[in-house]
Amino acid sequence: MMDAVPNPLNQPGDPRDRGGPAQPLLSVRGLVRHFPVKGSGFLKPKKVVSAVDGVDFDILKGETLGVVGESGCGKSTTARVLMQLIRQDRGELLFDGESVGGTLPLRDYRRQVQMVFQDSYASLNPRLTIEDSIAFGPRVHGISPRVAIDRAHDLLHRVGLEPGRFAGRYPHELSGGQRQRINIARALALEPRLVILDEAVSALDKSVEAQVLNLLLDLKRDFGLTYMFISHDLNVVRFMCDRVMVMYLGKVCEIGTRDAIFDTPGHPYTSALLASMPKMDPAERTKVPPLSGDPPNPIDPPPGCRFHPRCSFSEDICTRMPPGVSSAKTQHSVACLMAEPGGLHSRAPALQESGS
Amino acid sequence: MMNPMIEIDNLSVTFNRGRKPVQAVNGVSLSVKTGEVVALLGESGSGKSVTMRSLLRLHPKGTTITGRMQVAGHDVTALSARQIADFRGAVASMVFQEPRLALDPVYTLGDQITEAIMRHEKLGRNEAFERALALFEKVRIPSPERRLKTYPHEMSGGMLQRAMIAMALACNPRVLLADEPTTALDATVQIQILLLIRELQAEYGLSVIFVTHDIGVAAEVADRIAVMYAGRIVEEGAVADIIRNPQHPYTQGLLGARVELAGHRDRLVTIPGAPPDLADMPKGCAFAPRCVRVMEACGQAVPPLTGTKGAGQVACLHYA
Amino acid sequence: MAAIITQDKAMAVATVARSPGYWSGVARRLSRDPVALVALGLIILLVAMAILAPYLAPYDPTKASMIRRLKPIGTPGYLLGTDELGRDMLSRLIYGARLSLIMGVIPVPIAFVIGSAIGIVAGYVGGITNTLIMRTVDVFYAFPSVLLAVALSGTLGSGLGNALVSLTVVFIPQIARVAESVTTQVRRLDYVDAARASGAKGHTIILVHVLGNVLGPIFVFATSLISVSMILASGLSFLGLGVRPPDAEWGLMLNTLRTAIYVNPMVAALPGVMIFLTSICFNLFSDGLRSAMDVKS
C-alpha cells in the first residue's frame, strides 16, 4: 500500500533494532526536573516546582504505555523531557540501550522519537501548507523536497485525508479532528519508533476521538510503533494501553499491566482515580467523592508519602517515610507503604519468614 | 403548580455575523419541571450552549431569536433590558465552564458575591457578607472567611468553580443553568462538583439545565437527557432509557463510540464523517449523510420529534 | 491493487487543490476596507506629487520676491498664497513633500530590519542573552522619542543625513521591543516545539517557523511609526536640526512661517495641515493592514 515509507522498519528485523525484543525501547532512570518559581529568589526565599522528582520507568518495544494523573502530576513535563524539549536536571534516558546525548547523538534520537501535542491548532504553523508542515522534518534531515512532499502525500493518505484535497491547504481551514490527523502524519514523517501522544485526543469531540483512536491503533500495527499515551481519561487509557503508569506530584505511584492497574489497583490514589470516573449506569451513581480537595500545588510537596494528606489510609508513618517502589512483581509495582512487606504501616503485608 | 419551570417552544437562534447567517439552533422545544435536572448532550456546534444561553438572552447584538421561552412564569423574550437584568441571577443563574473568565480578576470573591446580593435584594453590606459566608460554607470551601478575601487567581480551578456556584445561588434562583461546568477540571475534582450540584439541586429544589458533551457526566447528574445534533433535539428521554436503550442512530453511534463500552474489542465503532455546516444544512434529517440506517425519505424533510412527552421522544423516520 | 492505488495517487498529486496563500488573503481583505484604500490612494498621490514636483509646481520653490510677501490664499496666480519671503506656497508644499517623505519614511524600514533582527534573536534565544539585549534596548527606550532624537541630532550636527540616522536610532528600540514580545509568544507555541523535536537547528526554525509569523505584526507596528517619524522629522527641521533653508520641508516651513501667524494664519498653518494629513493616512492604512492580517476576522 505505502511505497515511500518502507515497511520492514519497526518490524522484526528492523535494521535499527539493537538489543532485541526483550530490551526496553526507552529506559528512564532517576529523572528529575525542577522549575524555579517566577518572582522567587530575589529578596524572597527561592522556590522550585518539583515537576518531575525522581522517576524511573521503561517503555517496552511495541507496547502502549499509558500515563495518567491529575494536572500538576508531571506527566506533560515527563513527555517534554523525553522529547528533550526541556533538559532534565538529573537522570538518564537510555534508548534501545544507548545513552541519549552520549553514545546516541540527540539528532539521531529525535528521528526515532516524535510527539503529538494536545492543541491541534497551536502545533501547526499557520503560514505553512499542510504538505509543507509534514515535509519539514524529512527535509531537515536532508531528504530532497520532491521525495519529502511525496512522503507527505502518502502519509496524508494513511491518516485518512485525501492528499488532493488537503495537501495545499492551511491549518485554519480544517476541523480539529483533521488537524490532529495531520499532526499524527507529521510525527510519522521521520519514521519514528516511539511516538509520545500528549493528550492527543483530549480536545476532540467524542465521535471524532473514536475515529482518531482507531487510526492510532491502525498506524501502530502497520508501522510497528511504540506509544507513550498520556491522558486524563482513564477509559481511553484502558482501551488503548498495554501497561499503565500512575503519577502523583512528580512521582510514580503505581505502574503495571492494564489489567493489574484496573482490576487490582495497589495504590489508594489509583483506586480513587478509578472511582472518580463517571459511571455509565444511572442506577449506580457515585455517592461520596473518592477524593476531597483539589490536586495540591507541586511547589511545596508534603513530606513522606506525597499522597498522605488526601489518603484515607494515612498513618503517622506515612507523613515521615516516603515509600519506595516495590518491585517484587515486575508486572506491577506500587509506591505505597501498605504494599511493602514487613513495612511499618499497619496494613502492610507480613514479611514472609525465610528458612523456617 | 404543575406548569413546567422552563418551557422552550420552537426556539430558533440565528447569528448574522460573517457573510452567511448561521442557524445555530433550529426549532428546539424542551420543558423542565420544578426540581428536575435535564442534560443537554451534544458535540461542539450542536447548539446546546446556544439554547441554554438564550434563556438568559446572553447573545450578541444582531442575533435573531424566534420562538417562545417561559421561565418560572416570565416570558423571557418579552422582558425589557431592565427586567432581564433583574431576572438574571434572581430567577435563573448560570455557571460557566471557565470560572476564571467569568469572574472579575480585580475584585475579591467576597466583594463580587456581596455586590451581586445587594444588586438584587435590599440588604446591608454586612448582611450580604454574612450570606456570602454561609454560601461558601454551603459549597464546602475550606476556611471560607479567608477565601472570601482572596482574588480569583489565588484559587485553584475546583475551588473557583465552587465559588462560582455559591455566587450563582446567592439570590436564591429557581433555575440553575450549567454550561460544561466540569469540563476543564480533573476527574477527581469533576466528581466532587457533580455531587455538589446534585446535592444543592435536591436541597433547594432547583430546576437545572446541564450542558455537557460527556454522556458519562450526564449519567451522573441528570434525570432526563436531551441529545442535540446540528441545532435540533434528536432524542429526549429518561436518563436510564437513553443510556440503556438509545433509539436515534446518532445516540446509538455516540454510545457505540464510548471506549468504556468497547469491552475487549480492538476497535471502536465510530460515526463516519463530520457534522454538517450550519450555514449550509442538508434539506432533510441533518444526520442522514452519516447515518448507517439512512433511507431515501430521510433526505426529503426534517423528521419531527415523536412519542409522548416525558416518556421519550425521538426524531427519526424509523420510529415515526 | 497496488498499481491502482499508485495510479490513483499520481493523479491526486497532480491535482492538489491549492488554497490561496496568506498574503493574497490579506490583499483581499484589505481591498474590502474603504478607509484603508482611501488612505493608500492618498499616500500614492503624495508620493506621485513628490516625484513629479518639477512638473506640477508652477514656480521655482526657492525664488523669493520682496514685493509679494505673505499674500493670502486665493491670490490670482498664487493659489495658496506666498510665504514670508514671497515664495509660492503651492510650489513649496509640493517640493516639501520630497524631503518630508524621505525623512518620514526612510528611517522606518531601516529600523524595521535592525530592530526586528535584534528582537527576534533576543526573543528566540531567551535567557541571559535576552536579558542583556533587552535591558540595553530599554536604556534607549527610557528616553522620550523627541528628546532622544533632538539629543542625537544635536550631537551629530544638523543636516538631512544626521537627522535620518538619529530618527533610525530612535525607532530601533521600539521595534526591537515589539519584535521580542511577538517572538517570545510564537516561541512558546507547540509548532516550534514540534520543529525542534524534528531535529531542526535554531536558524532553520527561525527562518521557516518564526519569521513568517512575527514579521507581519512587527510590520504593522512599523507602518504606524511612519506618522511619528514624519512629525519627529518636522520637529527636527523646525528646531533647525534637520533640513537647512532654503530647502522646502514642511517642518522647516512651519518654523519659518511661525512669525507670520498673526499676519496670515491660514497660510502659516498649511505645512501643518500637510503633516497632519500625511501622518493620518499612514496611520489609517496601518490600522487597515492590522485587521486585514488577522486570519480570524
For B223, nearest residue in chain A (alpha carbons): A282
Cβ atoms of C26 and C20 within 8 Å: the answer is no
3-state secondary structure of C21: coil
Can you tell me which residue has the cell 482490576? A263
A chain contacts of residue B192, beta-carbon cutoff 8 Å: 289, 291-292
DSSP C105-161: HTHHHHHHHHHHHHHHHHHHH-HHHHHHHHHHHHHHHTS-HHHHHHHHHHHH-SSHH
- Domain assignments of chain A as residue spans, ordered by start: 1-356
Same domain flag for B180 and B108: no
Give the chain C residue whose CA is nearest to the CA of A155. Answer: C9
Domain boundary among B117, B146, B172: B172
Rounded mean pLDDT of A282-291?
Answer: 86
On whether both B58 and B84 belong to a single domain, the answer is yes
Contact status, residue B285 vs residue B291, Cβ threshold 8 Å: yes
Name all chains with 3 or more CB-CB pairs below 8 Å to chain B. A
Quick count: other Cβ atoms within 10 Å of Cβ C75?
15
Instruction: Give the DSSP H or E segment for B209.
Output: strand B207-212
Residue C292: the pLDDT is 84
A163: closest CA of chain C, how far (Å)? 6
Tens of pLDDT, residue by residue over C147-173, are 888 888 888 887 888 889 999 999 999
Asked whether residue B180 falls in the same domain as residue B234, the answer is yes
Q: What is the grid cell recorded at B115?
A: 455586590
Q: Taking a C-beta distance cutoff of 8 angstroms, is the pair A267, A261 a contact?
A: no
Subunits with at least 3 CB pairs below 8 A relative to chain C?
Answer: A
pLDDT, one tens digit per residue, over B179-223 is 999 988 888 999 999 999 999 999 999 999 999 998 889 999 999
Contact A136 C295 (CB under 8 A): no
User: Would an 8 Å CB–CB cutoff place A186 in contact with chain C?
Assistant: yes
Cβ–Cβ under 8 Å, residues B136 and B148: yes
- Chain A residues lying within 8 Å of B215, measured CB to CB: 206, 280
Cell of C268: 502659516
- Judged against a pLDDT cut of 70, whether residue A37 lies above it is answered with yes
Number of domains into which chain B is organized:
2
**Chain A, nearest residue to C197 by Cα:** A110
Instruction: Please compute the mean of the pLDDT values over residues C205-226 and round it to a whole number.
Output: 88
- Counting Cα atoms < 13 Å in the Cβ hemisphere of C160 gives 14
Position C181 scores a pLDDT of 94
Backbone φ, ψ for residue B125 (5° rounding): -60, -40
Q: Residue A3 pLDDT more than 70?
A: no
Identity at A341, one-letter amino acid code? P
- Tell me: do B259 and B282 sit in the same domain: yes
pLDDT at position A151 over 60: yes
Phi–psi pair at A242, nearest 5 degrees: -90, -40
pLDDT exceeds 70 at position B309: no
Q: What is the mean pLDDT of chain C?
A: 83
Mean pLDDT of chain A: 87
Distance from CA of A108 to the nearest CA of C (A): 8
Contact C198 A190 (CB under 8 A): yes
pLDDT of residue C3: 40
- Calculate mean pLDDT across residues C52-81: 76
What pLDDT score does C273 carry?
87
Cell of C280: 493620518
Of A127-131, C102-106, C176-180, C245-249, the range with the lowest mean pLDDT is C245-249
Nearest CA in chain B to A71: B186
pLDDT at B97 over 60: yes
Boundary (domain end) residue, out of B172, B194, B228: B172
**pLDDT for the residue A227:** 96
Q: Give the rounded percent of residues in chain C with a pLDDT score beyond 90.
A: 24
Q: Is B225 left (phi over 0), alpha (psi -120 to 50) or beta?
A: beta
Alpha-carbon span A351 to B49, nearest angstrom: 58
Chain A contact present for C297, CB below 8 A: no
CB atoms inside a 10 Å sphere around CB A145: 11
Q: Give the tens place of pLDDT for each residue, B104-130.
A: 889 999 999 998 888 888 888 899 999
C193 has pLDDT over 80: yes
Cα C277 to Cα A174, C42, C231, C272: the distances in Å are 43, 9, 11, 9
- How big is chain A by its Cα radius of gyration, in Å? 22
Strands A243-248 and A226-230, bridge-based pairing: unpaired
Residue A41 pLDDT class (50, 70, 90 cuts): low
The answer to whether residues B279 and B157 belong to one domain is no
Whether the per-residue pLDDT at A85 is higher than 60: the answer is: yes
Q: DSSP states of C242-261 as a string?
A: SSPTTS--HHHHHHHTGGGT
Each residue of A264-274: pLDDT tens digit?
999 999 999 99
Task: Tally the C-alpha atoms within 13 A of residue B116's C-alpha that lie toward its C-beta.
Answer: 28
- pLDDT of B262 higher than 70: no
- Position A249 scores a pLDDT of 92
pLDDT of residue B10: 92
Whole-Å CA distances, C285 to A345, C33, C113, C222, C293: 73, 10, 20, 12, 12
**Angstrom distances, CA of residue B274 to CA of A293, B300, B302:** 38, 20, 19
Query: What pLDDT does A326 receive?
Result: 63
User: Measured on CA atoms in the order C190, C191, C196, C199, is the torsion positive or negative?
Assistant: positive
Q: What is the dihedral of CA B165, B170, B172, B177, to 10 degrees?
A: -30
How far apart (Å, rounded) are the C-alpha atoms in residues C61 and C248? 7
Cα–Cα distance between A197 and A124 in angstroms, integer?
A: 15
B306 pLDDT more than 50: yes
- Between β-strands A194-198 and A26-36, what pairing exists: parallel, antiparallel or unpaired? unpaired
Side chain identity at residue A41, one-letter code: G
C-alpha cell at A17: 533494532
- Model confidence at C119, in pLDDT bands (50, 70, 90)? very high
Give percent of chain A above pLDDT 90.
Answer: 51
- Does residue B216 share a domain with residue B206? yes
From A351's Cα to the closest Cα of chain C, the distance in A is 47
Buried b (16+ CB within 10 A) or exposed e, C174-188: bbbbbbbbbbbebbe
| Residue A168, beta-bridge partner list | C18
Work out the average pLDDT over A197-202.
92
Q: Containing domain of residue B161, as a range?
A: 102-172
Q: How far apart are CA C198 and CA A135, in angstroms?
A: 11
Answer whether CATH 3.40.228.10 is correct for domain A1-356: no
Residues of A in contact with B47 (CB under 8 A): none
Q: What is the mean pLDDT of residues A201-222?
A: 90
What average pLDDT does the segment C49-74 reach? 78
Is the Cβ of A164 closer than 8 Å to some Cβ of chain C? yes
CA distance C170 to C168: 5
Residue A210 and residue B194: Cβ atoms within 8 Å? no
Domain annotation covers residue B97: no
pLDDT band at A1 (very low <50, low <70, confident <90, very high): very low
A219 touches chain C (CB under 8 A): no
Cα dihedral C129, A81, A222, A184 sign: negative
Q: Which of B213, B220, B261 sits opposite A279 (nearest CB)?
A: B220
A 85-104 residues with CB below 8 A of C?
85
> What's the confidence (pLDDT) of residue A5?
45
pLDDT digit string, tens, across residues A238-266: 999 999 999 999 999 999 999 999 999 99
On whether both B138 and B54 belong to a single domain, the answer is no
In whole angstroms, give the CA distance from residue B57 to residue B76: 8
Residue C2: list chain A partners with CB under 8 A: 1, 3
Helix/strand/coil (H, E, C) string of chain A? CCCCCCCCCCCCCCCCCCCCCCCCCEEEEEEEEEEECCCCCCCCCCCEEEEEEEEEEEECCCCEEEEECCCCCCHHHHHHHHCCCCCCCEEEEEECCEEECCCECHHHHHHHEEEECCCCCCCCCCCCCHHHHHHHHHHHCCCCHHHHHHHHHHHHHHCCCCHHHHCECCHHHCCHHHHHHHHHHHHHCCCCCEEEEECCCCCCCHHHHHHHHHHHHHHHHHHCCEEEEECCCHHHHHHHCCEEEEEECCEEEEEEEHHHHHHCCCCHHHHHHHHHCCCCCHHHCCCCCCCCCCCCCCCCCCCCCCCHHHCCCCCHHHHCCCCCCEEEECCEEECCHHHCCCCCCCCCCCCCCCCC
User: Searching chain C, which residue's CA lies closest to the CA of residue A169?
Assistant: C19
B14 strand-pairing partners:
B23, B64
Would residue B96 count as lying in a domain? Answer: no
Residues B254, B160 share a domain? no
Contact B176, B204 (CB under 8 A): no
Q: Do B188 and A70 touch (CB under 8 A)?
A: yes
A54: left (phi over 0), alpha (psi -120 to 50) or beta: left
Cβ atoms of B181 and B39 closer than 8 Å: no
Q: What share of chain C is helix, strand, coil (3-state, %, to 5)?
A: 75, 0, 25
| C142 contacts chain A (CB < 8 A) | no
Does one domain contain both B257 and B118?
Answer: no
Q: Is A173 on the interface with C (CB under 8 A)?
A: yes
Nearest to residue A98, comparing CAs of A32, A26, A31?
A26
Amino acid in position A226: T
pLDDT interval class at C10 (50, 70, 90): very low
Query: Are B78 and B189 members of one domain?
Result: yes
Upstream peptide bond of C246 is cis (omega within 30 degrees of 0): yes
Whether the CB of A286 is below 8 Å from some CB of chain B: the reply is yes
Q: Which three cell numbers stand for residue A320?
A: 515521615
Among the residue ranges B69-83, B234-248, B285-299, C75-89, the one predicted with the least confidence is: C75-89
* Cβ–Cβ contact A169 with C under 8 A: yes
Contacts of B270 in chain A (CB under 8 A): 207, 210-211, 214
Domain final residue, candidates B172, B199, B234: B172
CATH number of the domain encompassing residue B261:
3.40.50.300
Q: Where are the domains of chain C?
A: 105-246
Report the pLDDT value the prediction gives residue B102, as an integer from 0 to 100: 85
Give the mean model confidence (pLDDT) for residues C76-102: 81
Using an 8 Å CB-CB cutoff, list chain C residues near A186: 194
Across the range C32-60, mean pLDDT stands at: 87
- pLDDT band (50, 70, 90) for residue B310: low
Task: With a cut of 90, say whether residue C122 has pLDDT above it.
Answer: yes
Q: Does domain C105-246 have CATH number 1.20.1080.10?
A: no
**pLDDT tens-digit readout, C201-214:** 888 999 899 988 89
pLDDT at A2 over 80: no
Distance from CA of A292 to the nearest CA of B (A): 7
Across B226-230, average pLDDT: 94
Q: In terms of domains, do B180 and B57 share one? A: yes
Do the chains contact at B259 and A280, CB–CB below 8 Å?
A: no
- C28 part of contact set with chain A, CB < 8 Å: no
3-state helix, strand, coil in chain B (%, to 5): 40, 20, 40
- C11 has a pLDDT exceeding 50: no
Pick from C220, C244, C240, C230: nearest CA to C274? C230
pLDDT of residue B142: 87
Chain C residues with CB inside 8 Å of A163's CB? Answer: 9, 12-13, 16
**Residues B150-177 pLDDT 10s:** 999 888 888 999 999 999 998 889 999 9
Q: What is the pLDDT of residue A124?
A: 94
Question: What letter represents residue C211's amino acid?
Answer: L
Burial of A236 (0-12, 13-18, 19+ CB in 10 A): buried
Q: Does some domain include residue B19?
A: yes
Residues in chain C with CB shorter than 8 Å from the CB of A128 are 208-209, 212
Residues 6+ apart with CB under 8 A from B156: A294, A295, A297
Tell me which residue in C12, C198, C208 faces A162 most closely, judged by beta carbons.
C12
Q: Are residues B215 and B118 in the same domain?
A: no
State whether residue A158 sits within 8 Å of chain C by CB.
no
Asked if residue B1 belongs to a domain, the reply is no
Q: State the pLDDT at residue A346.
A: 81
Q: Is the pLDDT of residue C7 over 70?
A: no
Quick one: pLDDT at residue A327?
Answer: 57
